[in-house]
Structures are given as structure tokens and as C-alpha cells.
């Protein structure tokens, strides 16, 4: 979506789309110097945490890879991010979708049907859960492209953790043992690593020796924990919920009429094809007054029992928002992707 907005002048950005709002909120927080989303809001991070806690309870401890291997593997998430961006630019699609554990995680309620659509994604999800059982935040450390993007953006260093007072660490290592991403804060006077997810487990009274621990700073000025958490929550939800709500109300002119996006399509009937759960998904898109008026699926080979809801809701969502940036239907992910692809293909022919 963001790529299309930058590269395609005819693209009308749907700034109320949940995906855009989520990305905007995360990016703003990262530019302010914090990976707050990773440490406090990410549902996939929570899954990793609970899995690691179960592993610790059953095995008596969590494990760490040898430092050299751990350091090298952390770069892999940047490779994943780079691969996603390159595939989007060159192929105009992300070929890793079928392997995305996020997609599998979001489609867990649709099991067992969703397994047929994205078996490799569920396999990767299983491997991530196994990894998290032994290693805290396994996915976050080594695989998460969103974490990699935030790691690049937090280079501003506006938010840091600094050791409180002028003290000598007595090497109890409580802060390091409690660090879910194992950046060893006990070895640092200042924690400014891009790997830090700002969970704040090392802030406050975490030292078993009773020594002053780390304190938060923003622009090198002390920042209390509660204002930090409250402020970050406020920024995130103001963008994710507030802007979306205001945008959903519609922008009106002085006469009270809703102002619609500019006409960007030639009137007519256009056909497009896409690949859903099976190849050969073909749609007919009618454009009138420069706007999408009707979408009909004229040919497909999708699985009965899965495509019906997707065809109705995705088509209605595209027409209502005048955008193909719509959320997929749980249990019919590939069908939704194929339908959106086919509509995009048709609309390409309708552009001036």
C-alpha cells in the first residue's frame, strides 16, 4: 500500500485502512526512538512470551544460542525485510505471504480449513512456537521484518535506558537474565541497542542487590515509567483509532456533501484475473463516473464453502472504500488475495 502510494500517482491512499493506520502508528513511535509496539502491544510477541514461559516452567530454564551464532542470526530479519521490499518492487507482490506466520496466527480461528490454504505458513508458525519454547522472543530476535524496520528507525536514539546514579554493578545479572531479547543490559551503562524492545523489565527495582537500576530518558532527560507508557499508548491509539474514526466520518464540504476521491478511472467494463486458492479467478469490474460501481466474479475454481463469504464481503468492501486495501476474511485468505489481485488487474486497464 505505501509502495503503491509513493510510486503510482493515480493511487488514492485509503488512510482509514487498518493496515495503514497500524503502520503509521508503529513508524511514528519508532521515529520517536522506541519499539513500544514490540514490547507492549504486539500479539505475536505475546505469543512468544507465553510460549517461553511455558518452556521455562517445563524445562526449568530458557536457552541461549552461542554469542557468535546469536549475533549473526539477528541480521536474518533484515534480510527478510529486504527480500519483502525487493519482491514488492520487482514483482509487485510479496511472495513470502504463503510462509508468513503472522498470516497463520491471524487465521487460527479458521482451522482446520485455513490449513489447506496456507500450509507452509502454519508450518513456519509451528517452528516459531518451538523456537520460542526454548529461546525467549525467538521470532522477534531472528525473523521479524517489522522489528527490523523499527530497529532501523529507532536509530534516532531519542529514548534510551541509562544506569541510575554513579554505581558499580556487582554482577548479579538480574537485568540481563530478565531481558527477553538478551542484549545484556548489565554489561552496559547506556542501553541504546536497536534490539531493545523497551519492555522496561530492567527499569525500577529489578536489581537483586538492591542497587539503582536503569532509568528511562527522552532527549537525555529523565522520564518516569508511567508517563512513558501512557504517552506511548496515547500516541499509538490516537493514530490507530482516532484518525481512522475521523476519516471514517468522511470529509464534507460547506454544503455538507461528502467529498469523494477524485475520479481516477475511465468509465467502462473491465476484466482482470488473479490467483486465489487455485488459478483462474476472473472478475468483471464496472466503472461509472470514474468510480467502481460493480464487481462480478465470472470464473473461478475456488473451494466451495470458503469462497462465498469472501466474494461478497471483499467486493462490497472494495466498492464502499473505492480501494482494494481491504481486510481478508478468516478462512479464505488466498481467495481474498486472488480476488483483490484480479480487481487490481482490471483497474489497471481503467486508469487514464
Q: How far apart are CA 284 and CA 346, in angstroms?
A: 8
Element (H, E) at 110: none
* Dihedral sign computed on CA atoms, order 12, 90, 38, 114: positive
| 70-121 pLDDT per residue, tens | 999 999 999 999 998 888 777 766 677 778 898 788 778 777 777 877 788 8
What is the spatial distance between Cα 276 and Cα 124, in angstroms, rounded to a whole number? 21
For residue 94, the tally of other CB atoms under 10 A from its CB is 15
User: How many H-runs (helices) and E-runs (strands) does the chain carry?
Assistant: 16, 7
∠ CA 103-106-112, nearest 5°, is 90
Cβ–Cβ under 8 Å, residues 169 and 211: yes
Neighbours of 330 (CB within 10 A): 17
Regarding predicted confidence, which is higher, 20 or 323? 323
Distance CA(194)–CA(203), nearest Å, equals: 17
Q: Which three cell numbers stand for residue 61?
A: 530454564
For residues 267 and 291, the answer to whether their CB atoms sit within 8 Å is: no
Give 201-217 pLDDT, tens digit per residue: 887 655 666 665 677 88
pLDDT tens figures, 228-247 = 999 999 999 888 876 655 55
- The whole-angstrom separation of Cα 293 and Cα 100 is 33
Q: What is the pLDDT of residues 166-202, one digit of tens each?
A: 555 666 777 777 889 998 877 777 787 889 998 888 8
Cell representation of residue 140: 522477534
% of the chain residues with pLDDT over 70:
80
**Alpha-carbon gap, residue 53 to 89, rounded angstroms:** 39
Amino acid 164: pLDDT: 67
SS3 306: coil
Cβ atoms within 10 Å of 344's Cβ, excluding its own: 18
Count CB-CB contacts under 10 A for residue 141: 25
At residue 268, what are phi and psi to the nearest 5 degrees? 150, -175
pLDDT, position 18: 67
Q: pLDDT tens across 12-70, in order?
A: 445 555 667 888 899 999 998 889 999 999 999 999 999 999 999 999 999 999 999 99
Amino acid at each position: 500500500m505505501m509502495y503503491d502510494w509513493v510510486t503510482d500517482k493515480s493511487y488514492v491512499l485509503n488512510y482509514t485502512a487498518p493496515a495503514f493506520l497500524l503502520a503509521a502508528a508503529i513508524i511514528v513511535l519508532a521515529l520517536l526512538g522506541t519499539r513500544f509496539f514490540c514490547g507492549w502491544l504486539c500479539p505475536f510477541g505475546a505469543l512468544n512470551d507465553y510460549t517461553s514461559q511455558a518452556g521455562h516452567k517445563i524445562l526449568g530454564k530458557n536457552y541461549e544460542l552461542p554469542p557468535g551464532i546469536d549475533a549473526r542470526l539477528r541480521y536474518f530479519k533484515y534480510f527478510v525485510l529486504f527480500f519483502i521490499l525487493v519482491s514488492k518492487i520487482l514483482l509487485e507482490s510479496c511472495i513470502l505471504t504463503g510462509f508468513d506466520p503472522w498470516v497463520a496466527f491471524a487465521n487460527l480461528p479458521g482451522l482446520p480449513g485455513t490449513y489447506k490454504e496456507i500450509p507452509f505458513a502454519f508450518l513456519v508458525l509451528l517452528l516459531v512456537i518451538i523456537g520460542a519454547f526454548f529461546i525467549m522472543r525467538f521470532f522477534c530476535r531472528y525473523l521479524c521484518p517489522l522489528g527490523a524496520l523499527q530497529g532501523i528507525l529507532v536509530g534516532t536514539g531519542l529514548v534510551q535506558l541509562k544506569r541510575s546514579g554513579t554505581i558499580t554493578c556487582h554482577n548479579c545479572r538480574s537485568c540481563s537474565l530478565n531481558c527477553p531479547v538478551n542484549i545484556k543490559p548489565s554489561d552496559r551503562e547506556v542501553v541504546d541497542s536497536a534490539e531493545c524492545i523497551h519492555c522496561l523489565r530492567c527499569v525500577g527495582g529489578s536489581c537483586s542487590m538492591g542497587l539503582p537500576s536503569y532509568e528511562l530518558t527522552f532527549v537525555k532527560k529523565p522520564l518516569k515509567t508511567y508517563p512513558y507508557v501512557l504517552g506511548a499508548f496515547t500516541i499509538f491509539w490516537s493514530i490507530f483509532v482516532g484518525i481512522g474514526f475521523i476519516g471514517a466520518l468522511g470529509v464534507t464540504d460547506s454544503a455538507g456533501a461528502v467529498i469523494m476521491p477524485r475520479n481516477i478511472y475511465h468509465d467502462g467494463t473491465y476484466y482482470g484475473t488473479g490467483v486465489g486458492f487455485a488459478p483462474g479467478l476472473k472478475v468483471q469490474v464496472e466503472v461509472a463516473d470514474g468510480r467502481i460501481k460493480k464487481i462480478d466474479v465470472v470464473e473461478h475454481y475456488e473451494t466451495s464453502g470458503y469462497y462465498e463469504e469472501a466474494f461478497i464481503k471483499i467486493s462490497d468492501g472494495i466498492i464502499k472504500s473505492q480501494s482494494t486495501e481491504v481486510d481478508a476474511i478468516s478462512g479464505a485468505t488466498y481467495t481474498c488475495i486472488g480476488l483483490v489481485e484480479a480487481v487490481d488487474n482490471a483497474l489497471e486497464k481503467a486508469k487514464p
